[in-house]
Chain A
Amino acid sequence: MSVCNEAVLQADDSQDWRRSRRAWLLSSGVGLGAIAARQLLGEENLRGGVTSSNRTGGPVTDPVNGVTTLSGRATEGVIVAPHHEPSARSVIVLFMGGGPSHVDTFDPKPVLAGLHGGTVPDSIAREIPRIARSPLHNLFASPFRFAKHGQSGLEVSELYPELARHVDELCVIRGMRHDSPIHAPAEYLSLTGTGVGNRPSLGAWVTYGLGSENRDLPSFMVFFSNGETLREPGWAAGFLPARYQGTRVDRGVPNLALPAGLAPSDRRQQLDLLGKLNRKHLRERGSAGELEARLDSYELAYRMQTSAPEAFDLAGETAETRTLYGLDRKETAEFGEHCLLARRMVERGVRFIQLRHGKWDAHGKLVENHRGNCLATDRPIAGLLADLRRRGLLDQTLVIWGGEFGRTPAAQGGLGADAGRDHSPSGYTMWLAGGGVRGGQVIGATDPVGYAAIERPVHPQNLHATVLHALGIEQHQLYYERHNRRELVTVNGAEVVREAFSAS
């Protein structure tokens, strides 16, 4: 066995993200024994999704892909070595479901003040794409004050006072643009690349490509808060095997708690018997890869039961940290907790984390809506950036903020207290931070009233290419064969927003 391990170590020394897994296997030696060793060898043969040469079992082969699914035993992705030096290892997406208004947060439009109540000037109207939901009348100047912040002097509205202190970390993309004014398709566009909702979500792709650094936790986690609508495609695996789908963990990993009355020692004893009987079965049936994987999945589940509660347990966090994320205030506690958990997950090697915060769809009462939502997210996000920075994690973690679209500069429901804004997919803002991104910069611009991206438009697919780039993945080299087509994250290829990154 030691020979095997040495061989593995030599073969695999460059693979950073496999280390924690291997370290565990080498140190544990409990319960699995020979199987663990065999699996190690098997896994080395599973590189790049190629069928291992050891005996494989039943129909684990993906019918369309011809690639053996890696099953629970491997945390590797199909990418063996990064295509270029990665600037991020993990991704946190702060998804503001319903669509936050860009003209009230990160994209100031002073011109609107002069046009308040008026009509979009023809010169601008010509530029506005023909999207049915782009009313041209009743322009609505932002009721919120903007001010310059940080060394960069980047402008942020009064809605995000705490986040504003971190503007020098933010790369604000003001020219986000796509063509779907409807929530679900727009959300799918933002998170899967097209509006149909049948493609793998970005998190699933990344997990498929890179695997996880921590076998004891799901590698793609999704947290829901503030009544965010549940629409699975944004964290589903699409045509990728189901194992790459995101796991909803806003209430912890599902089915993690032992049933009432069952002791951990009971469970250990159960699993020992289970392992014994399953190994006997395996011996008789021949060494089927899938059966082995299933054996292994029980041990993983067992460890998850030990490690996941620890990962989700905030008791060890200091009062200072809790305050930093706003856990001490009712308004910020829910999202703050998710942000803090996100940091803990990043620390533990979780690859992709999606934090969903709902109810941004301010068709009416924009002021009330956005004041509430920004309050609920401001301190938590600021806390997350500060905490990641001071722990040295921000440089390896790409943080992305935004919704499925922005909101129109024109009002809905009159200009009174009820004034709201409609959906604006043709021009809106998202920002990036950490993960090699050069902060304190603005990329692209919308027209003078904020309707359409007119400078450096960035489609969500471009953003996906950019995320892959940060992770060391060349978008054309991560693919999944299906219907004889090399399916890409970016569907037909997209453009990396290179200027987002620091020159290196």
Chain B
Amino acid sequence: MSERARTPLQLVSPILWVACLWLSASSPVGLSPLAMAAVKSPEVDFGTQVLPLLRSRCFACHAGREASSGFQLDVRVELLGQSNGHPLAVPGDSQSSRLAQAIASTDPKRRMPPPDAGPALTASEVTLLRDWIDQGLSWDDNLLPPPPVKSSHWAFQTPRRPAIPAVGAIRASGKTGQTGNPDSAMYRRPSGSFAGGGAAWSRSPVDAFIAVEHARQAVVPVPLAGHRRLLRRLAFDLTGLPPDPDWLEEFARESAPDAIARAVDRLLASPRYGERWGRHWLDVARWAESEGFESNHPRPYAWRYRDYVVESFNRDLPFDQFLRQQIAGDELLPYEDSQLIATGFLAAARLSSNEEDKALQRNDVLVDIVNMVGEGVLGLTVGCAQCHNHKFDPFTQRDYYRLQALFVSGQPANLTLRDPELNRRYGLAIPAELPPAKQLAGVLFQSARERLRKDRLSKLSMETRAALETPPDQRTPAQHELARQADLQLQLLDSQIEREIAGDDKPLYESLKKKIAALEKQLPDRPQTWGFYSPRTSPTPLEVLPMRGFYPLTFDAEQLRESRAFLLVRGNVHRRGPVVEAGFPAVLDYAFGETKPASHGGSRTAFVDWLVDPRHPLTARVWANRVWQQHFGRGLVETTGDFGLRGTPPSHPELLDYLAVDGREHGWSTKYLHRLICTSSVYALGSDEQAATSGETATAAVTSVAGSANDSNRPSVEMSVTTSAANGAGLSKESDKSDGAGGADEANRSDEAYERDPENRWLWRFPARRLEAEAVRDSLLAVAGELELTAGGPSGEEQNSRRRALYVFQKRDLLPEVQRLFDGANANEPCSRRLVTTVSLQPLYLLNSPFAVRMAERFAARVHRVAGDDPRRQIDVAYRWALGREPDAEEAAAAIEYLRSEVPRHDVVADAGNPSDAVVATWTPLRRFCQVLLNLNEFVYLE
């Protein structure tokens, strides 16, 4: 930090020095810049001269965090304007330094210190400070160290593994120290009989933290859910699809102690798991398959990143590596295609290829990337600091541009892949005459381009050409503006260049072009991906393919290599402040203790090293919290994308830290976290707000495995043991309708829980929630027997595709109907949590859209194939498939009545566009009934 002035004292003539003193004493403001430049001043000493002066005359008001008007003269970077782009002192140029202007002003309204704070500085004091600025603003960090940015905010402190609270006789049995990917063995932990308020069901560390809060908040959890509901919950939660009906039947009869753990393992092993959890991550990555903005060109290879994400979840790629590949994949050695594809995370930014202003176009992309990484990975609303220091968090505008500097040398682009097989197949497809034709056409095109460019250049003014020849960071503001204008004139459209091809070349070029077009029409695209690549920090030279667009984001490797980040005043790309080097938010340095993150020259690999460092306060917490949110519908920190001072505090801070640290120590395994959470009792809680009344439960046996509970060496509480009705031993497959509730006593207790905690913040029940758009569509397809499970590859169209919603083309601003109607992520910015809204356009979709009508039809046909014409059997089969259970007596009665009643259908013809009798006949009672089932709340809710 410390910079000593380097003006050699011996060069300054004593006479000049005296003259200077005399001059400045007589007329401090009258000294012309020329005179100043001619006069060499003696070297100013910061410690003995400047600091005492600043202390005695300035710091009373302008020091510390509460500095008057925000001008902190005791911090060098503040003087340099690095937190807001408004420098107070420009090293080497006191003339344009506001500090020097203020102290020398003769206007009492402008003068500093102001008249009411004492006399003006003396002429020699003014000169001293000016010299100090002109000599480079020397500083001594020992005397005036940069203030450490500290914050006592919980989320900025390194998480530590908390002790698992003692809830009765809970035993974690030392399993938590395990490293590496966990195997299911660790879930076969013994469970004890736990005493204590409402904690009898506690069977995992997760439960212990939850149970402690239950006791503290005096809420009693509802009974555990029955087999069927639990498996349905697990299946939707982990795979986004209803469970296989046969499996459900099997599971309902399960009494093995490790049944849940096995079910979780089975679901996690399914390829459907990655499709479900990958989609959650794609929300964060604001991923889509088109550019957005005006022209919204498709990105035909964006699916490769989607597949990468799905596969990464499926093979449980450790989250730290997942981040490393996505943020720095182009920098990693040895080079691998999959790592390059992973950078689609950064490249998924929106891009306006109609933007003429190239600086703005590029900056918009960088802003998009920084804001996404900030919210998605750091859990901070860094975007707020793009234009000014963060209003709530200790996060400066400089911090923002230090992050931007990590990305400034790279750009999203179509990048070729090296996969030998892909390239071999591509190579085979190239006709022999194509390469020479392209080469010749290229020569003609390039020479025309050069001619045209020269011509355009020659028409520019001298000043403009001079501006262009000046390296960008040395341009004056006027030159910068000139260069910007000229840049536009020098952008040549292909059509303009082609017009320049003249003479004999013209017919030749035209015929070549036709030939190439014809040949290329049959040619597949080069193997490529939409990724992010920095020619400066990537050790692997990559080939960049052109992108489409009226004004595409041109990939100029030379320019990128030299690019630097600037603090942009008020976020305006055309108002450059000081150059900013890559770095991390200063407030997080503190958590790293004495060791400051090493200098790294904008390497994103170093950034990831920092992110996944065990001392990092945020990364693991944000990760664990996102996982929790998807399981429970709400994060332990509810504002999943904002862990800052104004984010919601965690409901269970110790549990959050436990998951973060434990998950990280288990090799950053996301599946480990799933297992930890999904095998807990809190996850298995019933979802009802109230325990059913005794009338409802009379027929429903209580689910329990009391028989095996005697064996204390084996896990016992796998299913629900209700606290007050555990005597009702015996397993029942009929248990699901009432969640195995235990009578009026239970009802009263959960009513009490409701009164105390209506928002279910303390998780006394499992929070039911509507399925996401994708799961709604996928479930309809699944139940109708229509779902096509082909994984990966290019996306299809919504109407024709029978594949999962994940594989329907994601065009920005025109996302598939089901996603628009059911609160899908909009892909314009990271979506940390989806909202749930309920509007009447949703039922219209589920009742009348061609898709929903087709699904009802197929579902009914499928039921009919199995159940034939027996209404009771039809009802039974339809219920099992749609809802994973049998109908109870009341439901069966209603359904029978419906199927048997013959309502006169006199109004068919008049209102439905005169369909033929055949069409009318297709709406059999069964089909109409099946459509009703697919519209039930129970069908679209994860309970």
User: Which A residues are within 8 Å of any B CB, using their own CB?
Assistant: 55-64, 69, 71-73, 130, 132-133, 181-185, 197-198, 218, 230-233, 236, 241-243, 245, 247, 253-267, 269-270, 273-274, 276-278, 280-282, 284-288, 290-291, 293-295, 297-298, 300-301, 304-305, 483-485
Question: Considering only CB atoms, which chain B residue lies closest to A198 in the complex?
Answer: B828
Q: Are A286 and B690 in contact (CB under 8 A)?
A: yes
Q: Which among B813, B832, B890 has the greatest number of chain A C-beta atoms within 10 A?
A: B813
Considering the chains assembled together, what is the distance between the CA atoms of A285 and B943 in angstroms?
Answer: 10
B426 at the interface (CB under 8 A from A): no
Whether B841 contacts A264 by the Cβ 8 Å rule is no
**Which listed residue (B488, B833, B912) contacts A260, Cβ 8 A?**
B912
The smallest beta-carbon distance between B302 and chain A, in angstroms, is 19
- Verify if B848 is at the interface (C-beta below 8 Å from A): yes
Q: What's the least CB distance linking A439 to chain B, in Å?
A: 35
Output the least CB separation between A449 and chain B (Å). 21
CA–CA, A214 and B841, complex, Å: 15
Select A285's contact among B644, B687, B832, B844, beta carbons within 8 Å.
B687
Q: Which residues of A contact B844 (CB under 8 A)?
A: 253-256, 301, 304-305
Chain A: minimal CB distance from B226 (Å)? 12
Asked if B758 is at the interface of the complex by the 8 Å CB criterion, the answer is: yes
The 10 residue pairs across chains A and B that have the minimum distance between CB atoms: A286-B689, A184-B294, A484-B646, A300-B840, A261-B919, A301-B843, A263-B908, A232-B813, A243-B837, A58-B769
Pick from A185, A236, A258: contact of B826, CB under 8 Å: A236
Contacting pair A59 B848 (CB below 8 A) = no
Q: Which residue from A241, A255, A260, A281 sits with its C-beta under 8 Å from B835?
A: A241
CB contacts (< 8 Å) of A297 on chain B: these are: 838-840, 842-843
Task: Please state if B936 and A278 are interface contacts (CB–CB under 8 Å).
Answer: yes
Tell me, rounded to whole Å, the shortest Cβ–Cβ distance linking A496 to chain B: 25
- Of the candidates B767, B768, B843, B923, the one whose C-beta lies within 8 Å of that of A262 is B923
Q: Which of B40-48, B114-122, B659-667, B899-907 contacts A (4 or more CB under 8 A)?
A: B899-907
A202 nearest CB across to chain B (Å): 17
- Minimum CB–CB distance from A253 to chain B (whole Å) comes to 7
Minimal beta-carbon separation of A22 from chain B (angstroms): 18
With A57-B768, A59-B836, A259-B848 known as contacts, the answer to whether A64 contacts B843 (CB < 8 A) is no
B823 and A242 form a contact (CB under 8 A): yes
**Within the complex, which residue of B354, B911, B928 is in contact with A270, where a contact is CB–CB below 8 Å?**
B928
- Inter-chain contacts of A69 with B (CB < 8 A): 835-837
- A436 CB to closest chain B CB (Å) equals 31
Docked-complex contact A72 and B911, CB < 8 angstroms = no
Asked if B488 and A132 make an inter-chain contact with CB atoms under 8 angstroms apart, the answer reads yes
A-B contact count (CB 8 A): 246
Residue of B nearest to A483 (CB): B381
Cα(A376)–Cα(B620), bound, Å:
60
Contact check, B692 vs A284: say whether CB atoms are below 8 A apart.
yes
B357 interfacial contact with A, CB 8 Å: yes
B759 contacts chain A at the CB level, 8 A cutoff: yes
> Using an 8 Å CB-CB cutoff, how does the interface string of B147-158 with A read, 1 for contact, 0 for none?
000000000000
Q: Which residues of chain A are near B908, meaning CB under 8 Å?
A: 261-263, 266
B929 within 8 A of A: yes
Q: B638: shortest Cβ distance to chain A, in Å? A: 5
Q: A61-B759, A63-B639, A198-B829 are in contact. Are A247 and B912 (CB under 8 A)?
A: no
Please give, as numbers and ranges, the residues of chain A lying within 8 Å of B769 by CB-CB distance. 58-59
Once bound together, how far apart are the Cα atoms of A260 and B919, in whole Å? 7
Is the CB–CB distance between A266 and B352 below 8 Å? no
The complex places the Cα of A133 from the Cα of B354 at a distance, in Å, of 13
The interface on chain B, measured as residues whose beta carbon lies within 8 A of the other chain's beta carbons, has a size of 97
* Minimum C-beta distance from A277 to chain B (A): 6
A181 to B: closest C-beta gap in Å: 8
If A63-B634, A266-B923, A484-B392 touch, whether A183 touches B354 (CB-CB below 8 Å) is yes
Give complex CA distance A269, B925 in Å: 10
Are B915 and A58 in contact (CB-based, < 8 A)? no
- B689 pairs with A287, CB closer than 8 A: yes
In the complex, the answer to whether B838 meets A290 with C-beta atoms within 8 Å is yes
Q: Which residue of A lies closest to B769 (CB)?
A: A58
A182 to B929, CA, bound (A): 52
Q: CB within 8 Å of A: which of B346-397?
A: 352, 354-357, 381, 384, 391-392
Contact A55-B754, Cβ < 8 Å, known A287-B689, A294-B937: yes
Closest to B933 in A: A277
Say yes or no: A284-B911 contact (C-beta < 8 A), given A63-B634, A184-B293: no
Answer whether residue B334 sits at the interface, using C-beta atoms and an 8 A cutoff: no
Across the interface, name the chain A residue whose C-beta is closest to B908: A263
Question: Once the chains bind, are B907 and A264 in contact (CB under 8 Å)?
Answer: yes
B737 within 8 A of partner (CB) = yes
Kindly list chain A residues whose C-beta atoms are within 8 Å of the C-beta of B935. Answer: 274, 298
Q: Which residues of A contact B912 (CB under 8 A)?
A: 257-263
In the complex, are the beta carbons of A197 and B689 less than 8 A apart?
A: no
Closest Cβ neighbor of A268 among chain B residues: B903
Residues of A within 8 A of B941 (CB): 58, 291
Contact of B294 among A182, A243, A264, A281 (CB under 8 A): A182
B688 at interface, CB cutoff 8 A: yes
Decide if A281 touches B936 in the complex (CB within 8 Å): yes
User: Distance in Å from the Cβ of B866 to the closest Cβ of chain A?
Assistant: 22
User: Considering residues A241, A266, A290, which has the most beta carbons from chain B within 10 angstroms of its beta carbon?
Assistant: A266
Chain B residues, CB < 8 A from A56: 758-759
Contact assessment for A255 and B293 in the assembled complex, using a CB-CB cutoff below 8 Å? no
Chain B residues with CB under 8 Å of A233's CB are: 813
Q: With a CB–CB cut-off of 8 A, which chain B residues contact A266?
A: 903, 905, 908, 923, 928
- Could you pull out 27 A-B pairs where Cβ atoms are within 8 angstroms? A58-B768, A58-B770, A72-B840, A185-B293, A197-B292, A231-B813, A232-B813, A232-B814, A245-B820, A255-B841, A257-B912, A259-B853, A261-B908, A261-B912, A262-B912, A263-B907, A269-B901, A273-B895, A273-B932, A274-B936, A277-B936, A278-B937, A280-B891, A281-B936, A298-B843, A484-B381, A485-B384
A-contact bits for B634-670, CB 8 A (1 contact / 0 none)? 1000111010101000000000000000000000000
Chain A residues near B919 (CB, 8 Å)?
A: 260-261
Confirm or deny: B613 has a beta carbon within 8 angstroms of a beta carbon on chain A. Answer: no
Beyond A184-B352, A284-B692, A298-B840, list 12 extra A-B contacts (CB 8 Å). Answer: A57-B689, A63-B638, A63-B640, A198-B826, A243-B839, A263-B905, A263-B907, A269-B903, A273-B898, A285-B688, A288-B768, A290-B770
Q: Which residues of B contact A280 (CB under 8 A)?
A: 890-891
Residue of B nearest to A52 (CB): B758
Which of B488, B907, B937 gathers most chain A CB within 10 Å?
Answer: B937
Q: What residues of chain A lie closer than 8 Å to B559, measured between beta carbons? A: none
Question: Which residues 275-317 of B have a CB within 8 angstroms of A?
Answer: 292-294
Q: Does B434 contact A (CB under 8 A)?
A: no
Bound-state Cα–Cα, A287 to B850, Å:
32
Assembled-state Cα–Cα distance A262/B821 (Å): 24
Query: Do B911 and A258 touch across chains, with their CB atoms under 8 A apart?
Result: yes
Asked if B840 and A301 make an inter-chain contact with CB atoms under 8 angstroms apart, the answer reads: yes
Q: Which residue of B lies closest to A303 (CB)?
A: B840
B688 and A286 form a contact (CB under 8 A): yes
Evaluate contact between B937 and A295: CB separation under 8 angstroms.
yes
State the CA gap A73–B913 with chains docked (Å): 31
Residue of B with least CB distance to A73: B838
Least distance between B365 CB and chain A CB atoms (Å): 13
| Residues of chain B with a CB closer than 8 A to A300's CB | 840, 843
- Nearest A residue (CB) for B767: A58
| CB of B633 within 8 Å of the partner chain | yes
A399 to B69, CA, bound (A): 45
For residue B614, give the distance in angstroms from its CB to the closest CB of chain A: 29
Q: Are A285 and B903 in contact (CB under 8 A)?
A: no
Q: If A265-B907, A294-B937 touch, does A273 touch B848 (CB 8 Å cutoff)?
A: no
* A57-B294 Cα distance, complex, nearest whole Å: 40
With A254-B844, A256-B844 given, is the CB distance from A276 to B836 under 8 Å? no
> Using a CB-CB cutoff of 8 Å, which residues 743-759 of chain B contact chain A?
754, 758-759
Find chain A residues with CB under 8 A from B904 CB: 265
- Whether A265 contacts B906 in the complex (CB less than 8 A), given A185-B293, A254-B841, A255-B844, comes out as yes
Interface code B805-831, partner A: CB below 8 Å = 1, 0 otherwise? 000000001100100110100101100
